[in-house]
Structure 1
């Protein structure tokens, strides 16, 4: 998986570097001769302004993707903690009735780890049977009859936690539904092309070609990161199910 991500990243970097050089060479060929100094000065001004706008677009989209990515990581941790509270509070409530709550919680965790993440990556929808297990756990908690302050407190806390899980699940699906508009990719590639074309007044020497290729390569690297984080449920930038897996291990040891 890591090798595939590296190859994808290398493809983005090599592709934008090649695109930049091809646009530069094509414009040099069309121009025919080296332009005069005023044209070079104007080209430098155009490059500066287009590069600033292009960089701002990339920075804003990259920052937005990172915020979404970090929110999902935080929400998975909160949900795993809520599931742990319900699971162990059910035992504290009544060890004999605890399996009625714990079994659907276990089934829910298994479905989230083994199926739902892939389902979100491919279908951008929550996995229906996981909702079914959540509903079974919810019914089991509702059916508990508290007696005494201790059980009333535990019952109230379990209900609060299971409602929180429902809210987080809805947010999880919203993360999957969000997708970067094709207009962004058009603007990003158009910026690369326009900047590369504006480099044509500069002579085709080794140092200039290397610098132009570096610009294209770095832009490709940023575009790869944006692409990687755009779908947080699929590789190469997928948010893992680590909090759920650790909870499964904790339950197995208990």
Structure 2
């Protein structure tokens, strides 16, 4: 998988470099040096305006995908914390269903790590077994009958946490089903073409070709990063459920 990620990044970068150079040399062949003196001024103005818009598009989508990626990490920690809270609070409640609830929570964590993560990557769907285990815990908590204010507070807290788990599961599935619109990729590639066209005014020296390659390569790198962040469940930007893995290192993993 790591090799494939490296290969994909090379393809993105090399592809945008080749696209930029192909457009440049095509324009040089079509126009050559047959342009007026004021063409340089006009070309410079076009380069500035188009590149600004192109950069803005890339920056906005990059920021959007990064925020979604970070939000998923935050939600994983929130969900793991909710699981740990219920696991400990059911012990404080002192009820006969304590072991059943704790066992269901432990099984839920394992399902997310061992089954659900792969499903989110392959089918953009949550595990049905994960929902079953969550409902099992929810129904057990609903059936609790508090005898003291302490138990009433614990029950309310656990119910809030198990409802939060459902919300976070739904958000996670929505994140998995999200994909970047083909219009963005089209706009990105067209932007490279439009930014590169006015560069025909510069002669194809080694330095000019190198600088144009730097532009194309960096644009490809940004596009690759956006692509990686767009799917946090699969390579190349796969996010591991570290918060859940750490739960299994505690007593939750022994239930």
Bigger shift: 7-16 or 89-98?
89-98
Instruction: Please name the residue that 1:132 is paired with.
Output: 132
Post-superposition offset of 1:4: 2.8
Instruction: Please name the residue that 2:13 is paired with.
Output: 13
Instruction: Please name the residue that 1:197 is paired with.
Output: 197
Check conservation: 1:34, 1:203, Cα contact below 8 A: no
What SS does the corresponding residue of 2:119 show, helix, strand or coil? helix
CA displacement, residues 94-125 of structure 1 (integer Å, 9 cap, x when unaligned): 26431111111111111111111221122222
Structure 1 Cα separation of the partners of residues 37 and 230 of structure 2: 43
Bigger shift: 69-78 or 25-34?
25-34
Check conservation: 1:34, 1:201, Cα contact below 8 A: no
Structure 1 Cα separation of the partners of residues 71 and 32 of structure 2: 52
Structure 2 Cα separation of the partners of residues 193 and 118 of structure 1: 38
Instruction: Please name the residue that 2:87 is paired with.
Output: 87
Post-superposition offset of 1:7: 2.2
Structure 1 Cα separation of the partners of residues 198 and 114 of structure 2: 50
Instruction: Please name the residue that 1:49 is paired with.
Output: 49
Instruction: Please name the residue that 1:149 is paired with.
Output: 149
Structure 2 Cα separation of the partners of residues 46 and 164 of structure 1: 51
Post-superposition offset of 1:11: 1.6
Instruction: Please name the residue that 1:70 is paired with.
Output: 70
Instruction: Please name the residue that 2:180 is paired with.
Output: 180
Deviation beyond 4 Å, 4+ runs, structure 1: none
TM-score, length basis structure 2: 0.94
**Unaligned residue ranges in structure 1 (runs of 5+):** none
Residues 1:252 and 2:253 are matched in the alignment: yes
Post-superposition offset of 1:76: 0.6
Post-superposition offset of 1:6: 2.3
Bigger shift: 79-88 or 167-176?
167-176
Post-superposition offset of 1:51: 0.2
CA displacement, residues 133-181 of structure 1 (integer Å, 9 cap, x when unaligned): 1111111222223222222222221111101111111111221222111
Residues 1:118 and 2:118 are matched in the alignment: yes
What SS does the corresponding residue of 1:107 show, helix, strand or coil? helix
What SS does the corresponding residue of 1:37 show, helix, strand or coil? coil
Post-superposition offset of 1:34: 4.8
Check conservation: 2:125, 2:177, Cα contact below 8 A: yes
TM-score, length basis structure 1: 0.95
Check conservation: 1:146, 1:155, Cα contact below 8 A: yes
Structure 2 Cα separation of the partners of residues 149 and 104 of structure 1: 26
CA displacement, residues 212-251 of structure 1 (integer Å, 9 cap, x when unaligned): 0000000001001110001121111122200011011112
Structure 2 Cα separation of the partners of residues 190 and 16 of structure 1: 11
What SS does the corresponding residue of 2:201 show, helix, strand or coil? coil
Bigger shift: 20-29 or 138-147?
138-147
Structure 2 Cα separation of the partners of residues 4 and 243 of structure 1: 26
Aligned pairs for 1:92-111 within 5 A: 92-94=92-94, 96-111=96-111
